[in-house]
Chains A and B, each alone.
Chain A
Amino acid sequence: MNLAYVSPLPPLPSGVADYSAVLLPHLRPHFSRIVAVVDGYAPHLPLGLVDQVHDASQEPDWWLREQAVPLYHMGNHPAYHRYIYRLLQRVPGVTVLHDGNLLPFVHELTLARGERSAFVREAGLERGREGVRAAWDSLRQALPLPPDDYPMLGRVLRASLGVIVHNRYLYERGKQVYPQARLTVIPHLDLMPPDPNPPPRRDLKASLGLDPDVLLIGAFGFIAPSKRLEPALRAFSRLREEFPQARLVCVGQVVEGYNFRASLKEMGLEDVVRVTGYVPMETFRRYLRAVDVGVNLRYPTWGESSGPLLRLMACGVPTLVTDAGGFAELPDEAVVKVPAGPGEVEAIETALRALLSDPQRRATIGEAARAFIADECDPTRVAERYATFIRATVCGSST
């Protein structure tokens, strides 16, 4: 079987591109030919990893003559996933759904371009007549559709022969939208390259210009309000006297329009919190291996997976996660779950105190996290499951 691999790929700065870069080499042995289908750029891939690269913006359908079954990776970035959303409507295939809420994506594709009718049709595809009416009402009243009722997954679920998701939460969400969808859960990937002899944390901290004796807490990826860093900062500020050697590092870019530095200033944390901005992957990985505790909160969440969380867990870092969405499904012994909403700051404070004061506890949770990733997210096994599902979907019963 030939595979048309339709996904953002490196060098695009996208979590899905990073994911694909790790998955592709492991998928390679399962298919006779792999054609990478991109949109107007030359992907940076190791030689021989794919048999051909096809630019969908040039001639969209020649790759079908390759007799390749499409595997689409659908995320929520309008620039990177627009062509995928359009292709999967015309040429059904198997889709990996990376996000449980495509409403902002559909909004960007339709309303942001003045295409009101297209937006209404998408809502109709989601919920039939009720969706059409609700979309018109929302336009007339200039009120957004509620994402809980309109995750806009209908198009993807209906058009796909099969859909792969990374957690049970997203599976259930998909079934709610389109019960006939053929869905399967395949865990996310271990995205960290194997490192049998990682340098000691102290050395890594020193190499990053930090005092080797600091207790380092790290938050990774885009800095946005939904990452709940402000409650984390409040909790951290309460622990400053108790743990004067603790430092917090936010490794990633602050999203446009979010004045995160103002919060730091307001809480008087500028001297103990480092915000790196965008860093190259090598530096990103060094920070991941250097931190003693990870913070990977997210609320609201719609079942999207977090690459940074899996990387932290793979590095054996005990990490705080929000007890919601797909994160709630992680084993209790491998992460520290904190509730969203009332009591969030207190819960983060308690969890951080317990971890910062107890190296043994950190080690135990970190080891459980590492074992979970090694067991569940091994790329070879994940790729096998992909191949099995794709074959079963294409050749199996017409569910």
Chain B
Amino acid sequence: MDERRKQEEAWWEVREQPFRSDKPFIGPLIVRVRSLWNSVATKWYVRPLIQQQNAINRRLVEINRQLREEVEQLREELQVAQETIVALDRELTEVRRLQARTLYRSWEEADHLHPPSEAPGESLAGPEEGREQG
């Protein structure tokens, strides 16, 4: 694993930062004083907090990774489901075409045998579909 990748993966990790100062001449002195004060007053308070925060972050990163994997898997499954629906849709369309053709032909035949008013009424769309559309 190269350094850059390590850095990318550890973006969540909270670290203690070294003191710095840009002041000429007295800069190193300032850094030294701050470091000393830190080791006496704040270091022992901040370190456990950092550790606690890192534990939370580590867990969140893990949850995030799991969720990403799950989303990807669901997406794949959804695509497969969509493909199945499309295949069924195509079959349904074909069945409806055949049904319609048969129905229309029967109307035509009935037209030749009986006056149009005597031919039985029939519907392609079921009542459920009718309500849905309405």
Q: Do A and B come from one complex?
A: yes
A residues whose Cβ falls under 8 Å from a Cβ of B? 1-2, 32-33, 56-61, 64-65, 67, 69, 86-87, 89-93, 117, 120-121, 124-125, 128-129, 131-133, 136, 155, 158-159, 161, 394-395, 398
Q: Which residues of A contact B79 (CB under 8 A)?
A: 132-133, 136
Q: Does A124 contact B86, Cβ atoms closer than 8 Å?
A: yes
A2 — nearest CB in chain B belongs to which residue? B116
Q: Which residues of A contact B1 (CB under 8 A)?
A: none
Q: How many A-B contacts if CB must be within 8 Å?
A: 105
A391 — nearest CB in chain B belongs to which residue? B108
Q: Does B124 contact A61, Cβ atoms closer than 8 Å?
A: yes
Please report the C-alpha to C-alpha distance between residue A117 and residue B98 in the assembled complex, in whole angstroms.
27
B119 within 8 A of partner (CB): yes
Q: Does A65 contact B125, Cβ atoms closer than 8 Å?
A: no
Please report the C-alpha to C-alpha distance between residue A132 and residue B80 in the assembled complex, in whole angstroms.
9
Q: Which residues of A contact B90 (CB under 8 A)?
A: 125, 158
B residues whose Cβ falls under 8 Å from a Cβ of A? 75, 79, 82-83, 85-86, 89-90, 93-94, 96-98, 100-101, 104-105, 107-108, 110-111, 116, 119, 121-125, 129-130, 133-134
Closest Cβ–Cβ distance, residue A396 to chain B (whole Å): 10
Q: Does B83 contact A124, Cβ atoms closer than 8 Å?
A: yes
Q: Which residues of B contact A60 (CB under 8 A)?
A: 125, 129-130, 133-134
Q: Does B122 contact A161, Cβ atoms closer than 8 Å?
A: no
Please report the C-alpha to C-alpha distance between residue A125 and residue B110 in the assembled complex, in whole angstroms.
35
Q: Does A67 contact B93, Cβ atoms closer than 8 Å?
A: no
Q: Does A161 contact B101, Cβ atoms closer than 8 Å?
A: yes
Please report the C-alpha to C-alpha distance between residue A37 and residue B100 in the assembled complex, in whole angstroms.
18
Q: Is the interface of A mostly helix, strand, loop or mixed?
A: helix
Q: Does A1 contact B108, Cβ atoms closer than 8 Å?
A: yes
Given A59-B134, A67-B107, A92-B97, 17 extra CB contacts under 8 A:
A1-B108, A32-B116, A33-B116, A59-B130, A61-B123, A64-B125, A125-B90, A129-B83, A129-B86, A158-B93, A159-B97, A161-B97, A394-B101, A395-B104, A395-B108, A398-B98, A398-B101
Closest Cβ–Cβ distance, residue B86 to chain A (whole Å): 3
Q: Is the interface of B mostly helix, strand, loop or mixed?
A: helix
In the assembled complex, 10 residue pairs joining A and B whose CB atoms fall closer than 8 Å, in A order, are A2-B107, A60-B125, A64-B125, A92-B96, A92-B97, A132-B83, A136-B79, A155-B93, A158-B90, A158-B93
Q: Which residues of A contact B110 (CB under 8 A)?
A: 67
B133 — nearest CB in chain A belongs to which residue? A60
- On whether A394 and B108 interact (CB within 8 A), knowing A2-B116, A136-B79, the answer reads yes
Q: Which residues of A contact B85 (CB under 8 A)?
A: 121, 124
- On whether A93 and B82 interact (CB within 8 A), knowing A125-B89, A159-B93, A394-B108, the answer reads no
Q: Which residues of A contact B101 (CB under 8 A)?
A: 92, 161, 394, 398
Q: Does B86 contact A125, Cβ atoms closer than 8 Å?
A: yes
B89 — nearest CB in chain A belongs to which residue? A125
- On whether A86 and B116 interact (CB within 8 A), knowing A132-B82, A395-B108, the answer reads no
Q: Does A65 contact B122, Cβ atoms closer than 8 Å?
A: yes
Q: Which residues of A contact B105 (CB under 8 A)?
A: 394-395
Closest Cβ–Cβ distance, residue B114 to chain A (whole Å): 11
Q: Which residues of A contact B116 (CB under 8 A)?
A: 2, 32-33, 67
Q: Does B124 contact A67, Cβ atoms closer than 8 Å?
A: no
Q: Does B86 contact A67, Cβ atoms closer than 8 Å?
A: no
Please report the C-alpha to C-alpha distance between residue A86 and residue B125 in the assembled complex, in whole angstroms.
12
A60 — nearest CB in chain B belongs to which residue? B133
Q: Which residues of B contact A2 (CB under 8 A)?
A: 107, 116
Q: Does A65 contact B89, Cβ atoms closer than 8 Å?
A: no
Please report the C-alpha to C-alpha distance between residue A125 and residue B89 in the assembled complex, in whole angstroms.
8
